[in-house]
């Protein structure tokens, strides 16, 4: 009967078979959607009893608030967390530095780099020197504390925040920023096997050699949130939303443009809550749309359009401000959006002015300038034919039958004409 106890033993066959490592690929900026995904992965690893959780990281950085949500979960995780900066050519910059150093084990692939951990805050507002100094000091102290907790180079960590220094994987290893350099995940798991780590529940020994790796992919919802959190996509949604509302207000009852525009605006504002948005820029874009709309209704000889162009360009450039290129709106997208918007409203205004200045073709005003033929002698009054209609006309001089005259004015039911 002793064989029945084997599955219950810690080193038994069942225990060996149940061991696995959870691996998650993290690419792109650290935003609200990324934070939610990483936190859920940590919870999943803990609830399923994973031997370890590996974050394969490649990021230019991200938002401070999202990063701190991730770090809180990492530092309190009961499952050992390995951050592996990979593949070759990847980087762990800005928020990626904090995440890498906060791991129980930090590793990098050959041809990668880490550093430039200057903080990026929410709101997009310009900070004065005193406020900027406070933010930097706070981030430096935070990263130094994490480094000391994980037994890593706290001096370099502070320099990464204050001086935005960056190093290669070999330099990171020699400076004791990371634990090892490994060419692949399989090699990494073999080399960390047997290491003893400190976790909230006590010391843990890793058993990662040869055990299966389960990969966690982003759900459809997470992927959608990640896409719409891109600053350029959010900006395009904002412009399309304004277009939809403009067409709905211009043609009440169209319904579809209003619905589509409303959806785009809601998605844009959802994305903006997780981006460093400058609300002055958002107001300038809104003001530009108001000016463009007013140009259609008011004769300003192009002044409103010019004001709208300036306001839209400035607002677009100011809308999302960040030292990280991935957290800024693409200049090409701004150029296309401004050009299309300006072109559309210039076209509308030009057509409107053309219609206003066009000579009337119906009613009394439409007869002025028309050419008629005399049916009965005008001396001074007689009859003429204009547009196939017979009119009573009068002229300051006598005009014989068959001669042509031009309509000068409509007086009651008579036409004043002049001899050609």
- 75 class by beta-carbon count within 10 Å (0-12 exposed, 13-18 middle, 19+ buried): middle
User: 175-199, pLDDT tens digit by residue?
Assistant: 999 999 999 999 999 999 999 998 8
Nearest to 200 by CA among 72, 9, 109, 320: 72
User: 281-311, pLDDT tens digit by residue?
Assistant: 889 988 988 887 777 677 777 788 788 888 9
- Domains of the chain, residue spans: 18-221, 230-357, 363-419
- What pLDDT is attached to residue 124? 47
> Class for domain 363-419, per CATH?
mainly beta
363-419 has the same fold as 18-221: no
User: 57-112, pLDDT tens digit by residue?
Assistant: 999 988 888 899 999 999 999 999 999 999 999 999 999 999 999 999 999 999 99
User: 381-419, pLDDT tens digit by residue?
Assistant: 889 998 888 888 999 888 888 899 998 888 888 888 888
Q: What's the predicted TM-score (pTM) here?
A: 0.70
Which residue among 72, 126, 134, 414 is the active-site one? Answer: 134
Which residue among 94, 182, 229, 316 is the active-site one? Answer: 94
User: 115-162, pLDDT tens digit by residue?
Assistant: 988 766 544 455 667 777 888 899 999 999 999 999 999 999 999 999
94 is catalytic: yes
Helix residue spans in 251-322 (DSSP H): 256-272, 279-297, 303-319
Which CATH superfamily does the domain covering 18-221 fall into? Answer: 2-enoyl-CoA Hydratase; Chain A, domain 1 (3.90.226.10)
134 is catalytic: yes
DSSP per-residue letters across 45-90: HHHHT-SEEEEEEEBS-B-HHHHHHHHHHHHT-SS-EEEEE-STT-
């Amino acid at each position: 009967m002793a064989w029945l106890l084997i599955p219950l033993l810690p080193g038994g066959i069942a225990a060996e078979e149940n061991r696995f490592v959870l691996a998650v690929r993290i690419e792109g900026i650290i935003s609200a959607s990324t934070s939610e995904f990483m936190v859920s992965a940590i919870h999943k690893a803990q609830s399923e009893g994973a031997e370890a959780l590996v974050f394969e990281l490649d990021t230019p950085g991200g938002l401070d608030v999202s990063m701190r949500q991730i770090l809180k979960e990492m530092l309190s995780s009961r499952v050992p967390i390995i951050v592996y900066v990979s593949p070759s050519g990847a980087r762990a910059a800005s928020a990626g530095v904090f995440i890498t150093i906060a791991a129980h084990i930090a590793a990098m692939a050959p041809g990668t780099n880490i550093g430039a951990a200057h903080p990026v805050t929410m709101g997009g507002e310009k900070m004065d020197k005193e406020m900027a100094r406070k933010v930097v000091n706070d981030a430096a102290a935070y990263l130094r504390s994490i480094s000391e907790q994980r037994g890593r180079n706290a001096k370099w960590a502070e320099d990464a925040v204050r001086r935005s220094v960056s190093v290669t994987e070999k330099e990171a290893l020699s400076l004791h920023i990371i634990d090892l350099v490994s060419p692949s995940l399989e090699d990494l798991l073999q080399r960390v096997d047997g290491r003893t780590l400190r976790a909230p529940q006590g010391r843990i020994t890793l058993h990662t050699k040869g055990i299966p790796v389960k990969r966690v992919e982003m759900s459809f919802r997470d992927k959608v949130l990640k896409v719409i959190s891109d600053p350029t996509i959010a900006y395009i949604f904002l412009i399309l939303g304004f277009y939809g509302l403009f067409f709905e207000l211009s043609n009440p009852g169209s319904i579809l443009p209003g619905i589509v525009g409303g959806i785009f605006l809601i998605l844009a504002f959802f994305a903006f809550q997780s981006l460093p948005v400058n609300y002055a820029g958002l107001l300038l874009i809104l003001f530009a749309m108001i000016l463009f709309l007013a140009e259609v209704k008011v004769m300003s000889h192009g002044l409103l359009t010019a004001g709208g162009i300036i306001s839209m360009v400035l607002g677009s450039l100011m809308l999302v401000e960040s030292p990280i290129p991935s957290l800024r709106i693409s200049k090409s997208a701004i150029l296309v959006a401004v050009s299309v918007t300006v072109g559309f409203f210039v076209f509308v205004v030009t057509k409107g002015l053309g219609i206003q200045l066009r000579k009337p073709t119906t009613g009394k005003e439409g007869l002025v300038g028309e050419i008629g033929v005399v049916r009965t002698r005008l001396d001074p009054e007689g009859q003429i034919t204009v547009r196939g209609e017979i009119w009573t006309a009068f002229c300051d001089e006598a005009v014989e039958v068959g001669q042509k005259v031009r309509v000068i004015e409509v007086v009651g039911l008579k036409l004043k004409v002049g001899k050609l």
